[in-house]
Structure 1
Amino acid sequence: MNKIIFLPGASGDLSFWQPVRDLLPSTYAKEIIGYPGFGSVEANHELTSFDELINYVVGQIQQECIIVAQSMGGIFAVAAALTKPELVKGLVLVATSGGISLDPFDVQDWREGYRQHYLQYPDWFVTANINFEAELGLIKNDVLLLWGDQDPLSPPTVGEYLSQCFSHAELHVIKGGDHQFAHTHAQIVAEHINNYLNRIL
């Protein structure tokens, strides 16, 4: 059975992907990976840096799968596709930096508001600077990019740029979608993902 792994964003909210997960066919095995110390997942005090968190998430991927990732989760997804290309058979990136610098883009800075809202989360997460841009072209999968046209944190221009960085990528922009559109517009997101799965599998 083909497996879909869902990766949430920086909130670590395991329920974020539940609506889309429920709308995709039951022929797929589905797993939502949580991040220790984020959301409802118990902290792992051996994880003391963002690089270690990346290694932890990538380490959870033990079989062939398609990864569906939102926001921060896209960084883990790209890392997995680069380090485990034999297992990652597809990549769906949603409203994410994908591991590129957002400095050239007109984006809203999320860090201060995030610090205030998630006081218990590790500070090293907010200060991390991960950049996979030079390596994105090495990913040979067909990549599905989904963006919202009302997202101040990752506007469509970021998705357009990423579509040029990957060897094979297709971008769809969701009308009326803000940074949480994969949760609030689950029906159309699930349709795009299902069409993508039918194409690549």
Structure 2
Amino acid sequence: MQLQINQALAANSIHYPTTAAKDIVLLHGLFGNLSNWKAVQQELSPNYQVWTPQLPLFNHFLGGGLNKLVDFLEDYLQEHQIKNPILIGNSLGGHVALLYTLKYPEKVERLVLTGSSGLYENSFGGTFPRVKDYQYIKQKIEDVFDRKEVVDEEMVSYVFDIVQQKSKALSVIMLARDAQKQNLKELLHFIKIPVLLIWGLQDIVTPPEVAEEFYQYLPNATLHYIDRCGHAPMMEQPELFNGYVSNFLAS
């Protein structure tokens, strides 16, 4: 099993090296991939060590849901000798970052959450009633974004391919349901480190009231909303997103 994990670490990761001391780890969502973070990587890589692992959402050794993704993240950090990183997570990636911080509070310097699950969400991955309908899948993806122009054929084909494969579709459903079950409301007060919340005002997956709850229950949180923005601010409004992150890291 450890060999499989190490192989996954080596094959599915992007690292932007620099001489800076601080490490940043970017965690994508349930249907996300490494390209979601392109603008963030370009902005932060001159001043930080930026790491972008591909979460093993579909690997056969993943049984155990989100907790196994937390284990994967710990293995990844140890493998690359990353200590006290800043974790930046979108959607399910934010949930993983929260669970990791709760499990290893002394190992995380700061958190940035954007459209994070962990309280409640209207999950696209909970069911696939029209799995063979390409236009239906495209419409469901477009619904996640306020700025529809970020949705291209490559993105749609990527998601469509996932839901065509039974094992991958089952993994997505399992993780989506586990995310809905793992409500962290009663645990958030244990996270004492600084947390930046960046939320799209038009997010229909984790609506703005979810951000308000995170802000209420996290003891050391800062919240910024972005207009004309849905569930993925780092893709839809990268300049504003990067500005908030850069100010937060410099503070």
TM-score range, shorter chain: 0.7 to 0.9
Length-normalised TM-score, structure 1? 0.86
Q: CA deviation at 1:154?
A: 1.0
Alignment-derived partner of residue 71 in structure 1? 91
CA–CA distance in 2 between the matches of 1:144 and 1:77?
12
Q: CA deviation at 1:113?
A: 5.0
Q: 1:125 aligned to 2:175?
A: yes
CA–CA distance in 1 between the matches of 2:69 and 2:97?
12
- Which range moves more in the overlay, 70-79 or 18-27? 18-27
Deviations 1:147-179, CA, capped at 9 Å, x for gaps: 001111111111011101111101100010011
**8 Å CA contact retained: 1:95, 1:179:** yes
CA–CA distance in 1 between the matches of 2:187 and 2:85?
21
CA–CA distance in 2 between the matches of 1:114 and 1:13?
23
CA–CA distance in 1 between the matches of 2:86 and 2:37?
14
Aligned match for 1:112, one of 123, 127, 152? 127
Alignment-derived partner of residue 7 in structure 1? 27
Give RMSD over aligned pairs: 1.9
Q: 1:170 aligned to 2:170?
A: no
Q: 1:47 aligned to 2:62?
A: yes
**8 Å CA contact retained: 1:12, 1:35:** no
Larger radius of gyration between Structure 1 and Structure 2: 2
**Residue 114 and residue 161 in structure 1: after superposition, are their counterparts in 2 closer, same or farther (change >3 A)?**
farther
Length-normalised TM-score, structure 2? 0.70
Q: Which amino acid aligns with 1:112?
A: T
Structure 1 residues without counterparts, runs of 5 or longer: none
Q: CA deviation at 1:127?
A: 2.5
Q: CA deviation at 1:76?
A: 0.7
Q: Which amino acid aligns with 1:137?
A: H
Q: What secondary structure does 1:150 align onto?
A: coil
Q: CA deviation at 1:12?
A: 3.5
Q: 1:27 aligned to 2:47?
A: yes
**8 Å CA contact retained: 1:94, 1:145:** yes
Identity, in percent, stands at 29
Q: What secondary structure does 1:22 align onto?
A: helix
Bigger helix share:
2
CA–CA distance in 1 between the matches of 2:75 and 2:185?
22
**Number of paired residues?**
188
CA–CA distance in 1 between the matches of 2:74 and 2:99?
7
Aligned match for 2:75, one of 56, 59, 62? 59
